[in-house]
């Protein structure tokens, strides 16, 4: 731990179990009703939900079977056993929950937040021996990198990865870096203006190995809440940035800074110059080279859905996450991180109407917590993030009761050499406080 931070905001724990939203009409998979361990048996796959059609890499972590006893417990018993285990562990454990987690999980979270806030929260509980991360794999890796060596970070279901994070791997990014070096010279060497040709910027949603790549090349990690601040800082030191893995966050952020689309070539890994008609001249002229990654949750939102919401509710306020495609962000009234969306809803006058373009579990919870507003998800189909959804209370009960018995299961450990480089890029991220 190298950065000292104030305590993150502790948000109210929702009590209502919200499933879907007022506008939800059907679900994207009948398997959503299945228990996650039936999906875990199928090997590397993202499971039902928005990423169900994405191909999980063979290297994606697999969750082994949890003891049968947990698979048979009903919801009320799981809730009681998780509560009892938490009480027994006391301050030795901190439970972090991302906004996209199920209500049954959020009910046990000490901190509920977006990925930036949770990275800070991981630093804030010095007394905790165990950090149980109810989120996805890259978030748990980040917590391990930022926490002390004697703190164990635990991911309740190892199969909770992220399909977007899996769209960039070290081999692909190193190949891109080598090709850009051929075109632009030594990418780490500042020119006479003091700027390097390219700085790598990675979205938080990537492996620790890629954060380490960014750290050793002088780059910064960003989240959806501080991407604009990070890009501004990058351009003080670099002529261009290579932004991965999310093309949409990169494009939306850069465009809001006034950068033209013609200066944002798209890079598809494994192709000469990243394909997409890229040439030496277009790469030389570029300002933001966008990796061809995307989020399958946010790719579902469309301009037609926004038009339909406006037709039905003329006074609607449309807010979308910046992982949505550019035309969706353009058609919305505003865009921002999950915490931006939460704050917008909390600060609106009673009687407001919101159409929200982000993960449906979070939208459903906001709707349940704010009966004074009309809140619905832009997408009428119930289709949660496949991997966030893999964190089921049975896994949380299993990891916590294992800790009570003195057994650490599902620990996420980043090798120290990799962690040291990743920490450089994460420390730069934590200094880039969102506006």
- Shortest CB 294 distance to ligand SF4, Å: 9
Which 27-66 positions form the footprint of ligand SF4 (CB under 6 A)? 51
Closer CB to ligand 13P, residue 70 or residue 243?
243
- Rounded Cα gap, residues 158 and 211, in angstroms: 20
* Beta carbon nearer to ligand SF4, 147 or 387: 387
131 binds ligand SF4 (CB under 6 A): no
Q: Residue 51 binds which one of ligand SF4, ligand 13P, none, with CB within 5 to 8 A depending on kind?
A: ligand SF4
Estimate to the nearest angstrom the gap between the alpha carbon of 247 and the chain centroid.
Answer: 14
Burial 380-390 (b: 16+ CB within 10 A, else e): bbbbbbbbbbb
List the one residue from 52, 205, 247, 253 that touches ligand 13P (CB under 6 A): 205
The helix/strand/coil state of 363 is: helix
Q: Which residues contact 58 (CB under 8 A, 6 or more apart)?
A: 44
220, containing H or E segment: strand 220-222
Binding segment for ligand SF4 (CB under 6 A), chosen from 10-18, 295-303, 307-315, 330-338, is 295-303
CB closer to ligand SF4 out of 301 and 354: 301
* Residue 114 binds to ligand 13P (criterion: CB under 6 A): yes
Residues in 382-411 at the binding interface with ligand 13P, rule: CB under 6 A = none
Question: In 102-204, which residue ranges form alpha helices assigned H by DSSP?
Answer: 103-106, 115-124, 137-146, 170-184
- 151 binding ligand 13P? (CB under 6 A): no
CA distance 4 to 27: 43
Burial class (CB in 10 A: 0-12, 13-18, 19+), 212: buried
Per CB under 6 A, which of residues 216..255 are in contact with ligand 13P? 223-224
388 sits near ligand SF4 (criterion: CB under 6 A): yes
In the complex with ligand 13P, which residue's Cβ is closer, 183 or 366?
366
CB of 230 to ligand SF4, least distance (A): 17
Residue count (the chain): 435
With CB under 6 A as the contact rule, the residue among 225, 305, 387, 410 that binds ligand SF4 is 387
User: Number of residues in contact with ligand SF4, rule: CB under 6 A?
Assistant: 13
Closest CA to 204 of 338, 107, 308, 101: 338
| Number of residues counted as binding ligand 13P (CB under 6 A) | 9
Pairing of strands 220-222, 238-244: unpaired
Contact pick of 132, 168, 297, 399 for ligand SF4 (by CB under 6 A): 297
For 299, which DSSP code?
Answer: G
224 binds, among ligand SF4, ligand 13P, none (CB under 5 to 8 A by kind): ligand 13P
CA distance 349 to 336: 19
Report the partner that residue 163 touches, choosing among ligand SF4, ligand 13P, none (CB closer than 5 to 8 A by kind): ligand SF4
Q: Residues 71, 74, 75, CA angle at the centre, nearest 5°?
A: 110
If you ran DSSP here, which 8-state letter would residue 267 be given?
E
Site for ligand SF4 in 335-364 (CB under 6 A): 359
Give whichever of 208 and 295 is closer to ligand SF4, judged by the CB atom.
295
Site for ligand SF4 in 164-223 (CB under 6 A): 164, 205
Q: Of 144 and 359, which CB lies nearer to ligand SF4 in the complex structure? A: 359
**Residue 387, binding choice from ligand 13P, ligand SF4, none, Cβ under 5 to 8 Å by partner class:** ligand SF4
d(CA 95, CA 391): 13
Work out what residue 146 binds among ligand 13P, ligand SF4, none; the CB cut-off runs from 5 to 8 Å by kind: none
In this chain, which stretch among 70-78, 158-166, 175-183, 248-256 interacts with ligand SF4, using CB under 6 A? 158-166
Conformational region of residue 240, where left means phi above 0, alpha means psi within -120 to 50, and beta covers everything else: beta
Largest interatomic CA distance in the chain: 66
Interface with ligand SF4 includes 247 (CB under 6 A)? no
Neighbours of 314 (CB within 10 A): 8
DSSP assignment letter at 293: B
- Indicate the residue among 297 and 332 with the shorter CB distance to ligand SF4: 297
3-class DSSP assignment, residue 318:
strand
Which residue among 287, 338, 386, 410 contacts ligand 13P (CB under 6 A)? 338
Among 162, 214, 234, 341, binds ligand SF4 (CB under 6 A): 162
The two three-digit tokens of residue 369, written as one number? 């917590």
The count of C-alpha atoms lying within 13 angstroms of the C-alpha of 227, restricted to the half-sphere facing its C-beta, is: 31
* Measured torsion, CA atoms of residues 74, 395, 108, 123, in degrees rounded to the nearest 10: 180
List contacts with ligand 13P (CB under 6 A): 114-115, 205, 223-224, 295, 323, 337-338
List contacts with ligand SF4 (CB under 6 A): 51, 136, 162-164, 205, 295-297, 359, 385, 387-388
């Amino acid at each position: 731990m190298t950065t000292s931070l104030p305590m993150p905001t502790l948000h109210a724990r929702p009590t209502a179990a919200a499933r879907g939203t007022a506008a939800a009409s059907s679900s994207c998979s009948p398997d959503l009703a299945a228990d996650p361990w039936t999906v875990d048996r199928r090997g590397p796959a993202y499971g039902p939900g928005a990423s169900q059609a994405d191909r999980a890499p063979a290297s994606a972590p697999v969750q082994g079977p949890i003891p049968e006893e947990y698979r048979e417990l009903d919801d009320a018993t799981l809730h009681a056993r998780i509560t009892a285990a938490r009480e027994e562990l006391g301050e030795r454990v901190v439970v972090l929950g991302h906004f996209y987690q199920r209500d049954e999980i959020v009910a046990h979270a000490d901190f509920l937040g977006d990925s930036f806030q949770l990275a800070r929260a991981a630093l804030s509980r010095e007394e905790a021996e165990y950090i149980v991360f109810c989120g996805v794999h890259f978030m748990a890796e980040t917590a391990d990198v930022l926490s002390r060596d004697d703190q164990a970070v635990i991911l309740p279901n190892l199969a909770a990865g992220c399909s977007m994070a899996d769209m960039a791997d070290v081999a692909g990014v190193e190949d891109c870096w080598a090709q850009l070096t051929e075109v632009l010279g030594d990418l780490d060497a500042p020119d006479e203006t003091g700027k390097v040709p390219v700085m790598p910027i990675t979205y938080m949603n990537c492996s620790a190995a890629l954060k380490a790549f960014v750290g050793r090349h002088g780059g910064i990690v960003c989240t959806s809440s501080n991407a604009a601040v990070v890009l501004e800082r990058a351009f003080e030191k670099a002529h261009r940035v290579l932004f991965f893995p999310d093309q949409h966050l990169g494009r939306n952020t850069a465009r809001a800074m006034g950068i033209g689309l013609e200066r944002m070539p798209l890079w598809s890994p494994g192709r000469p110059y990243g394909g997409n008609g890229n040439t030496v001249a277009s790469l030389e002229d570029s300002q933001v080279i966008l990796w061809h990654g995307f989020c399958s949750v946010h790719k579902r939102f469309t301009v037609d859905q926004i038009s339909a919401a406006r037709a039905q509710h003329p006074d609607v306020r449309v807010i979308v996450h910046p992982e949505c495609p550019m035309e969706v962000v353009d058609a919305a009234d505003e865009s921002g991180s999950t915490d931006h969306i939460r704050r917008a809803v909390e600060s609106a006058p009673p009687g407001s109407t919101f159409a929200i373009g982000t993960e449906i579990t979070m939208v459903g919870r906001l709707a349940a917590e704010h009966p004074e507003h009309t809140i619905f998800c832009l997408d009428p189909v119930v289709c949660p993030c496949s991997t966030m959804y893999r964190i089921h209370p049975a896994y949380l009960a299993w990891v916590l009761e294992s800790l009570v018995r003195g057994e650490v299961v599902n620990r996420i450990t980043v090798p120290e050499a990799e962690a040291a480089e990743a920490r450089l890029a994460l420390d730069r991220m934590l200094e880039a406080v969102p506006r």
